[in-house]
Amino acid sequence: MRIAAFDLGSNSFHLLVADAHPDGSFEAIATDKEMLRLGSAVASTGRIGVDLARAGVEVVKRFAALAESNRAEEMVVCATSAFREASDSLRVVERIESECKVKVRVISGREEARLIFEAVRASVVIDPSPALAMDLGGGSLELMVGDGRGLDWAASLKLGVGRLTAEHVRSDPPSGDDFRRVSDAVGRALGRVAGQIAPLEPKKAIFSSGTLETLVGLAAQRRDGRYPTSLNQLSVSAADLRKLRDDLVSMTAEERASLPGVDARRADLLPAGAILASRALAEFAIEEVIGCEWALREGMILDAIGRHNRSDWDLDPHAMRRESVINLARRYGWNEAHSCKVARLAVELFDGTTTLHDLDNTDRELLEYGALLHDVGEHVSNDRHEQHSAYLIANGKLRGFRPEEVDILACLGRFHKRGSPKASFEAFGRLSASERRRVSQMVALLQVADGLDRSHGGPVRNLSVSVDPRKVVVSVDADDDISLELWGLRRKRDLFEKVFARELEVIDPRAVSADGRPAS
């Protein structure tokens, strides 16, 4: 089923058109966005006003046309804080419904928080849990505490970044008085809910939506020297955000607009957003923040799916990662038998060579997922399919993975066929020296596992590994002749022997040579 979600927010209007699948997952088909800043107008005048109402109607008309052109079967439209508070919101809603032929639902702050948290827990791994999720819009701040099983507590505060800026920031750059006014307003509002949040003991914070996502990206850029390719599951510290806050409040809006990843129309909002973020982390004694790229519109899609198909989203935190990998593989018509065989053999090689590598359980998990996805590029073309695999993995919107983990998976896809990982491949070039070393080890294991299933879903059932100072011997349990696999392996063993400084030998105990020894 194809569903279109219209998020009529206080800063921006967003459209997401998605294909919903029977397993409860979805795939984005089309997106659109327009920043209207209704929240700032409502904070200043109490009204949306004629001009913004006219602009809003035109944006929703465009969204509806795009949804219809993409053959959306259901349109879900939710309006948030600015519509809850504006004195003229009823008139604006009626006009949107009349001229755009859609039904608008003005949702409560609690309902907004519920929908956002559905998206958060389906997008990032909440471990350790619980976490404090924060979604900062133009008119309100949604605070949510929960874990992978669901929402435990939520509140909506009138602390939108448009509202804070309109009411308390009077100069550019913000003055010391501006800083204090924003911080005091945030402190007063948070103080009213601190007694409800503290007993829940959130272990980390999750930031979603435009301003907070931008802050996570900028904090990571200043720490790492490059702007991240993905914000989902990206971790930054409270100290990183404090340093960023101090920089942002010393800049003009024009200077902030020139920063990487900053929408110029949001530049004036960043100081208030940064002050709020730092004050909230200090208030609740939270030191780690992770980014989340899903928010209200994705929650609306998930909620619509749930009305048609009651899928179980109460996942083990790490099960989300596997589900996301399998969904991506199925999306591109994977060879399931071959991919699962290679994944199993790769893990067996990993376990049998622990004395040679310095990889951990997370690396083991990534190796398995990389093996499951290594051939998805064949959906595009068998020719140079490893390059297509890397692209599809990097752009597959995998949930629950940190950006560097997505880069690792892309490297496994890119180099599974043959050769050594190279820094000229952008994903590999972004990794640290230690991550590159780990990736080279994982690629070496994957290349051997792939070679051992050269016939795709072929005879090798299991394997055992023995390691001595000179060589690694892999003994295979096979149903049939493995000569094709041995041929495939001869083309793929070079990196293994280079990385682990051991000769690699594969033997089939069932096949005996003329002198009575196992054949290899």
pLDDT at position 518 is 45
Q: Which residues are registered as beta bridge partners of 142?
A: 135, 156
Mean pLDDT value of segment 433-449: 95
C-beta of residue 148 within 8 angstroms of C-beta of residue 131:
no
Which amino acid makes up residue 427? A
Percent of the chain with pLDDT over 90: 76
Separation between Cα atoms, residue 157 and residue 179, nearest integer Å: 19
CB neighbour burial string for 495-517, b if at least 16 within 10 angstroms, e if fewer: bbeebbebebbbbbeeeeeeeee
Domain boundaries, the chain: 2-107+297-308, 110-294, 319-519
Q: Is the pLDDT of residue 519 over 80?
A: no
315 exposure class (CB count in 10 Å sphere: 0-12, 13-18, 19+): middle
Tokens of 397: 């919107």
Q: Is the pLDDT of residue 509 over 70?
A: no
C-beta of residue 132 within 8 angstroms of C-beta of residue 120:
no
Q: What is the DSSP letter of 469?
A: S
Tokens of 181: 């006014």
Question: Which band of pLDDT confidence, cut at 50, 70 and 90, is reported for residue 492?
Answer: confident
Separation between Cα atoms, residue 199 and residue 84, nearest integer Å: 30
pLDDT at position 516 is 39
pLDDT tens-place string over residues 7-55: 999 999 999 999 987 667 788 999 999 999 999 999 899 999 999 999 9
Q: Crossing angle, helix 38-45 and helix 50-69, to 10 degrees?
A: 160
Question: Which band of pLDDT confidence, cut at 50, 70 and 90, is reported for residue 191?
Answer: very high
Separation between Cα atoms, residue 205 and residue 280, nearest integer Å: 10
Separation between Cα atoms, residue 403 and residue 372, nearest integer Å: 19
C-beta of residue 8 within 8 angstroms of C-beta of residue 24:
no
| 159 Cβ contact partners less than 8 Å away, ≥ 6 residues apart | 136, 140, 141, 185, 186, 189, 276
pLDDT at position 514 is 39
In 3-state terms, what secondary structure has residue 200? helix
Q: What is the mean pLDDT of the chain?
A: 91
Helices and strands of the chain, counted as H and E runs:
21, 15
C-beta of residue 471 within 8 angstroms of C-beta of residue 502:
yes
Of 2-6, 89-93, 261-265, 314-318, minimum mean pLDDT range: 314-318
Task: Give the DSSP per-residue string, 433-456.
Answer: HHHHHHHHHHHHHHHHHHHTTTTS
Q: What are the C-alpha distances in Å from 96 to residues 61, 82, 89, 139, 350?
A: 8, 15, 10, 20, 58
Q: Is the pLDDT of residue 468 over 60?
A: yes
Q: Is the pLDDT of residue 145 over 70?
A: yes
Write down the pTM of the prediction. 0.82
pLDDT at position 479 is 78
Q: Could you tell me which CATH class the domain 110-294 is placed in?
A: alpha beta
Question: Which band of pLDDT confidence, cut at 50, 70 and 90, is reported for residue 490?
Answer: confident
Separation between Cα atoms, residue 364 and residue 369, nearest integer Å: 9
Tokens of 51: 């001009």
Fold match flag (2-107+297-308 vs 110-294): yes
Tokens of 309: 């198909």
Which residue is associated with the tokens 């802050």?
Answer: 215
CA 425 distance to own-chain centroid: 21
Tokens of 453: 């299933």
The fold of the 2-107+297-308 domain, in CATH, is Nucleotidyltransferase; domain 5 (3.30.420)
pLDDT at position 22 is 67
Question: Which band of pLDDT confidence, cut at 50, 70 and 90, is reported for residue 113?
Answer: very high
Tell which residue, 377, 369, 321, 375, has the closest CA to residue 346: 369
Of 54-68, 154-168, 316-330, minimum mean pLDDT range: 316-330
Q: What are the C-alpha distances in Å from 188 to residues 22, 154, 155, 196, 415?
A: 45, 18, 15, 14, 54
358 exposure class (CB count in 10 Å sphere: 0-12, 13-18, 19+): exposed
pLDDT tens-place string over residues 204-249: 999 998 899 999 999 999 999 999 989 999 999 999 999 999 999 9
pLDDT at position 520 is 57
C-beta of residue 387 within 8 angstroms of C-beta of residue 377:
yes
Of 252-266, 311-325, 355-369, 472-486, minimum mean pLDDT range: 311-325
Torsion of CA 422, 359, 402, 412, to 10 degrees: 40
Of 346-355, 413-422, 479-488, minimum mean pLDDT range: 479-488
- H or E stretch covering 142: strand 141-147
Rg, C-alpha atoms of the chain: 26
C-beta of residue 40 within 8 angstroms of C-beta of residue 137:
no
Mean pLDDT value of segment 178-182: 97
Question: Which band of pLDDT confidence, cut at 50, 70 and 90, is reported for residue 84?
Answer: very high
> Given 1.10.3720.10, 1.10.3210.10, 3.40.50.2030, 1.20.1250.20, which CATH number is that of 319-519?
1.10.3210.10
Question: Which band of pLDDT confidence, cut at 50, 70 and 90, is reported for residue 511?
Answer: low
Separation between Cα atoms, residue 211 and residue 204, nearest integer Å: 18
pLDDT at position 482 is 77
